[in-house]
Amino acid sequence: MSDTRWAWVEIDLGAIRHNVASLRAVADPAAVWAVVKADGYGHGAVDVARAAMDAGAEGLCVALVAEGLELRRAGIDAPILLLSEQPPETAGHIVEHRLTPTVYTRQFLDALVAVGPTGLPVHLKIDTGMQRVGAHPHAAAAMAQSIAERAPAVRLAGVFSHLAVADDPSDAFTARQVERFDGALEHVIERVGSVPLIHLANSAGTLAHPETRRSMVRAGIAIYGVSPGHGVDDLCADLRPALQLRARVSYVKMARAGSRISYGRVHKFERDTTVATIPIGYADGVPRRLSSTGGEVLIGGRRRQIVGRVTMDQLMVDCGDDEVNVGDDVVLIGNQDGPDGEQTIRAEDWADRLDTIGYEIVCGISSRVPRFPRRSIDG
């Protein structure tokens, strides 16, 4: 627990290792590369990266040069793939710190070559329908040729694309993306020869689409034990959530029937009730809308409804007639034992209430909430 505030995050590194091992078994013989961008989806990139590598991940993926540098400065020597092109002025850092860049334009490729690398591995990204970034499938072979022409400064180490709807196995668009990718890849190989690493699968692809598990998979949200989407929930049974968001009760009072609470006074108490204040709010990543969509926390192993609007630093919950004391343990995301057995609130539960995805929930937990990595007994 934090010694500076009564709100904190616990990260179960044993769960990370378990999830990576589980995904390796699913993806075999493809290698697993762990996606640790956005500070490891809010779980702590350095600790997650080390746990993932301990469990057999063969590489790491990040979104930004700064994220790659953080891993290198922590002494992590594994391959680190940058998932999209970066500002040209970062080329020197990419080469110096042995990051593996993604390329899809000649301008960025030339910025890398201008730094003077030797044998810098690069991955070519092909846009097969996500329409975010990447070379058009018809232009992929020419881009691969441009990379080959700039040897020995750079070498083509990988070709990949990104799936848009892999979390919905019923959507035929994934098959179309695979078809477009394979057509483009065939022309790349005709032009420049074989490529060491081919990858298509994200977490949902790894779990639900065997045809996308090529020489490696890029596992992101699944390594944190969060489902990529309801369409693949049934394939996530072996995954363990790694994050718990916890706090302690900071204040207890009796609210009288007919009184109202918090900004806007939108919640009216129908009867006398015990109200507990929790010292965590929307500045910490508890969405303000959670109070108007039936959000709950666990205290004493029972579900307690959030009442009134979540404020920047605090929220309040209705504890009915139960005895609650300052310092009592509160679980916002995670598990707690209670009189009726273990109770659980998942990141996905928040996501469902807020019409969003589990990714946004865990990534949205503010950096001002301290993280405490721990090791589960069987991890």
- Does residue 261 share a domain with residue 218? no
Strand order in the sheet with 102-103: 80-82, 59-62, 31-35, 216-219, 197-199, 154-160, 120-125, 102-103
- Does residue 319 share a domain with residue 174? no
Average pLDDT, consecutive stretches of 10 residues, N- to C-terminus, the chain (379 residues): 83 98 98 98 98 98 98 98 98 98 98 97 98 98 98 98 98 98 98 97 98 98 98 97 98 97 95 97 96 94 96 97 97 94 95 96 96 73
- Does residue 251 share a domain with residue 213? no
Element (H, E) at 361: helix 358-363
Asked if the structure places residue 232 within a domain, the reply is: no
Alpha helices in 44-172 (DSSP H): 45-54, 65-73, 91-96, 106-114, 140-149
- Does residue 217 share a domain with residue 105? yes
CATH code for the domain in which residue 215 is found: 3.20.20.10
The total domain count for the chain is 2
Alpha helices in 80-172 (DSSP H): 91-96, 106-114, 140-149
Catalytic residues: 37, 263
- Does residue 178 share a domain with residue 113? yes
Q: Are 355 and 317 in contact (CB under 8 A)?
A: no
Whole-number pLDDT of residue 33? 98
Whole-number pLDDT of residue 376? 61
Dihedral angle sign, alpha carbons of residues 62, 64, 67, 73: positive
pLDDT digits (tens, 9 = 90+) for 282-305: 999 999 999 899 999 999 999 999
Instruction: Please give the Cα distance from 257 to 125 (Å, whole number).
Output: 61
Asked if the structure places residue 97 within a domain, the reply is: yes
Asked if the structure places residue 112 within a domain, the reply is: yes
Whole-number pLDDT of residue 1? 53
Distances (CA, A) of 101 to 58, 77, 272, 277, 338: 17, 16, 61, 47, 49
- Does residue 99 share a domain with residue 212? yes
Q: Are 322 and 302 in contact (CB under 8 A)?
A: yes
Residue by residue, DSSP assigns 165-217 as STT-TT-THHHHHHHHHHHHHHHHHHHH---SEEE---HHHHHH-GGG--SEE
Whole-number pLDDT of residue 222? 98
- Does residue 258 share a domain with residue 202? no
- Does residue 67 share a domain with residue 170? yes
Q: Which domain holds residue 329?
A: 243-345
Q: What is the SS3 assignment for 264?
A: helix
CATH code for the domain in which residue 296 is found: 2.40.37.10
- Does residue 164 share a domain with residue 256? no
Asked if the structure places residue 231 within a domain, the reply is: no
Asked if the structure places residue 379 within a domain, the reply is: no
- Does residue 278 share a domain with residue 171? no
Query: Two tokens at 269?
Result: 């108490």
Asked if the structure places residue 284 within a domain, the reply is: yes
- Does residue 215 share a domain with residue 125? yes
- Please give the model's pTM, rounded to 2 decimal places: 0.95
Whole-number pLDDT of residue 4? 80
